[in-house]
Amino acid sequence: MKIIIIGAVAGGTTAATKIRRKDEQAIITMYERDVDISYSGCSLPYFIGDKITDLNDITPRDVTFFKEKHNIDVFIQHEVLSIDPHEKKVVVKNLQTKEVFDDFYDSLIISTGASVFVPPIQGIDSPHVFFLRTVQDALRIKEYIKYNQVRHAVIAGSGFIGLEMCENLVDLGIDTKVVELADSIAGHLDVELSNVLQHRLEEKGIDIRVSAGISEIHSDSVLLTNGDTINTQMVIMATGVKPNVSLAKEAGIKLGETGAIQVNDEMRTSDPFIYSVGDCAETFDLITNKAVYRPLGSTANKMGRIVGDVITGGHLRYRGNLGTSIYKVFDLSVGSTGMTQQDAKDAGYDVQVVLMTKPNKLAALGGQEMVIKAVADKVTRQLLGVSIVGYEGVDKRLDVFVTLITLGAKVDELFHLDLAYSPPFSTAKDPVHYVGMVYESQMEHVISIDKLQSLGKVQLIDARSLDDVNSRGFIEGSTHIPHVEIREKMAQFDKDKMVVVYCNTGNTSNAVMNILRNNGFKKVTHLMGGHKLYKETSC
């Protein structure tokens, strides 16, 4: 069996090694137009920031490795110019010698990845403007920073790469500003968590401009769409990617509704002898089963393993994905999985949301608060998605939620999980438990921040201490009555009208709400997430 693989990064190399493990006789040939193969693209910002100093840690496997260890022929700087599905032939060009030749296959895997999206901006082709996609891109950026003694930079875009590059440039001593065309950063998050993230980054001194893209790039400055000018020595364009599908399209292979190559759960395209994996291929959502384009390294590796198994007669099938992601920005961790609130609404779900702040472990042992937003269907109580912004321990909680969503869990099961507990690792009731507790018994007694903001005038009680009110501010229109004084002062409120209680994070307000309810107040709720989240999510 002769197998040709176009592209030798994540999906392609994973497919090749899987095939070899199952079939020692297969003839496997890989063509890669770049000079680097099998590298960790997600590590590139940390290489630029000198946190990874040895390039071999990013590119641990070369052409010789694949030939000696797996008997796989990898040809770098070889570009596949065309595919002929009828003759099962590819036309290849050696980019060094300019030789053009034909090669034939029994099965073909297209793993051509994605390319950076280049917006139509005046000056975008200037020598101080960079995109980050490949190892060579990273090397060029490092060289430019070194030889031009860069001290000022602008990053366009606030996705994974944009924010990771922000951290690494700042750590190199470069004054870095982030501009984002949308009205909030980190577009994969709901607006509340985007605002929390922006607020915490700004507290660290990061200059973030939203609703402001770049309209012109000059030699020493950029002009923003809002009219502002920022002086800069370097521009990093982190404006997203688009799938490389031209080869497939010209060969008559069907593209999906997202514009990427359409595949089934075997990674098979519309041609029965051609497969596609990685950032050029369309996948489907685990919950809705609808087509999605989610170019992630973890997904590419999974797809590569599946197609390698399928081609050699195996039974692995792709089951869909949740778009799970996590990244680090300074000491912050940002993770998400499944649907946002807006995604769920657009899909027709009757959405029920929990938004809360809870510590990851005992405060005396260094515990820090994480903000969690969970999305569920009110009718079926199915958990649909979770986003978390915090510090240590975000990955642990996120992976628990990923597992539950994958298995179709309902929110009622969260509280009953027998999670690991010890003060250095968690609180006795883990943040995961708290999400379940709110869903299980308190949803009718809490009010969301956006709902409160839409209500207008209500009886609003601030149950915090006077020190908290003076140092942290308050919600306009609230009456300050500390928890310890509520019993003697509750008579000033109308029991038949709506009362909303708030504190810092929601614990004290819950207690005060119960006191009022037990004393005849019929319409009393407390603010989900408390004043701290109200302040952070309203930036």
| The pLDDT of residue 539 is above 90 | no
Superfamily of the domain at 129-239: FAD/NAD(P)-binding domain (3.50.50.60)
pLDDT band at 209 (very low <50, low <70, confident <90, very high): very high
User: Structure tokens of 495?
Assistant: 């029991």
Tokens 């002062």 sit at which residue?
Answer: 489
Tokens 């929990």 sit at which residue?
Answer: 354
Q: Is 3.40.250.10 the CATH classification of the domain at 448-537? A: yes
Give Cβ neighbours of residue 474 (< 8 Å, ≥ 6 apart): 462, 480, 531
DSSP 3-state of 214: strand
Dist. CA 224–CA 235, nearest whole Å:
13
Dist. CA 360–CA 413, nearest whole Å:
20
Residue type, 246: S
- Mean pLDDT (whole number) for 448-452: 84
What local confidence, expressed as pLDDT, does residue 538 receive? 72
Dist. CA 134–CA 47, nearest whole Å:
12
Dist. CA 245–CA 247, nearest whole Å:
6
Give Cβ neighbours of residue 422 (< 8 Å, ≥ 6 apart): none
DSSP string, 86-108: TTTEEEEEETTT--EEEEE-SEE
- Mean pLDDT (whole number) for 395-402: 98
* Per-residue pLDDT tens digits for 462-494: 999 999 999 999 999 999 999 999 999 999 999
Q: Are strands 229-231 and 221-224 parallel, antiparallel or unpaired?
A: antiparallel
* Per-residue pLDDT tens digits for 50-69: 999 999 999 999 999 999 99
| The pLDDT of residue 506 is above 90 | no
Dist. CA 347–CA 339, nearest whole Å:
9
User: Structure tokens of 434?
Assistant: 């708290």
Superfamily of the domain at 2-37+56-113+242-311: FAD/NAD(P)-binding domain (3.50.50.60)
What local confidence, expressed as pLDDT, does residue 238 receive? 97
| The pLDDT of residue 23 is above 70 | yes
| The pLDDT of residue 442 is above 70 | no
What local confidence, expressed as pLDDT, does residue 453 receive? 82
DSSP string, 409-425: -BGGGSTT------TTT
Torsions phi, psi for 374 (to 5 deg): -115, 140
- How buried is 143 (Cβ within 10 angstroms: 0-12 exposed, 13-18 middle, 19+ buried)? exposed
Tokens 């909303």 sit at which residue?
Answer: 500
pLDDT band at 93 (very low <50, low <70, confident <90, very high): very high
What local confidence, expressed as pLDDT, does residue 529 receive? 85
- Same fold flag, 2-37+56-113+242-311 and 448-537: no
Dist. CA 230–CA 47, nearest whole Å:
26
- What percent of the chain stands above pLDDT 70? 99
Domain ranges for the chain, please list them: 2-37+56-113+242-311, 129-239, 331-443, 448-537
Strands (DSSP E) contained in 394-477 are 446-447, 459-462
What local confidence, expressed as pLDDT, does residue 48 receive? 98
Mean pLDDT of the chain: 95
Contact 111, 277 (CB under 8 A): yes
Nearest to 69 by CA among 112, 13, 111: 13
The number of helices, as runs of H, and strands, as runs of E, in the chain is: 16, 30
Contact 355, 529 (CB under 8 A): yes
Active site amino acids: 42
The Cα-based distances of 484 to 156, 225, 405, 462, 477 in angstroms read: 50, 52, 41, 12, 21
List the CATH code of the domain at 331-443.
Answer: 3.50.50.60
Dist. CA 220–CA 283, nearest whole Å:
42
* Per-residue pLDDT tens digits for 29-42: 999 999 999 999 99
| The pLDDT of residue 396 is above 70 | yes
